Amino acid sequence: MRGDDGRITLLVLGYFLVVAVLLGVVTGIAAVQTERQRLFAVADAAALDAADALAADAYFTGGLPAGPVRVPLTDASVRAGAEQHLAEVGAGSRFDRFALVSAGTADGVTAEVVLTAVATPPMVPRAVNAWTGGVPITVTARARAATG
């Protein structure tokens, strides 16, 4: 039948287009998740380092508390410890639009670090990335440091 010539070609091209779009979506999601895991690893390490940042003024004035011994922390000591760690590992150059949102302690023994960055999916055209600005990622890490 002459009327059906070329229809298989259109069907194959249509399937190819669907597979290409699905591949782009899966690759983009995987890239964003990988970037999130990298950012969380940096936040976790910064929180651990900040949890070890002894607040010298709190220690020398009040000493260590009774009971389970914890390193006394202040907002200033946590922020300083987190900033120092992030500078040492060069986190600002490893992520796009990286920022330390907050670093502090709510209870005096737990360091909390919040970081943000933007992930750019690889198979998305540059024009779309310029319009959307990428995918914002925010992670929060908490850590406690026991002295004994």
pTM of this prediction?
0.77
Collapse the DSSP code of 142 into the 3-class scheme (helix H, G, I; strand E, B; otherwise coil) and give the result.
strand
- d(CA 41, CA 18) in angstroms, rounded, equals 35
Q: Report pLDDT for 65.
A: 56
- d(CA 115, CA 85) in angstroms, rounded, equals 13
Collapse the DSSP code of 30 into the 3-class scheme (helix H, G, I; strand E, B; otherwise coil) and give the result.
helix
Q: Report pLDDT for 94.
A: 92
Average pLDDT over the chain, rounded to an integer: 83
How confident is the model over 40-65, as a mean pLDDT? 76
Give Cα 68 distance to the centre of its chain.
31
- d(CA 147, CA 70) in angstroms, rounded, equals 6
For the chain, state the CA radius of gyration: 24
Give Cα 141 distance to the centre of its chain.
9
CA dihedral (116, 117, 121, 126) positive or negative: positive
Q: Report pLDDT for 133.
A: 79
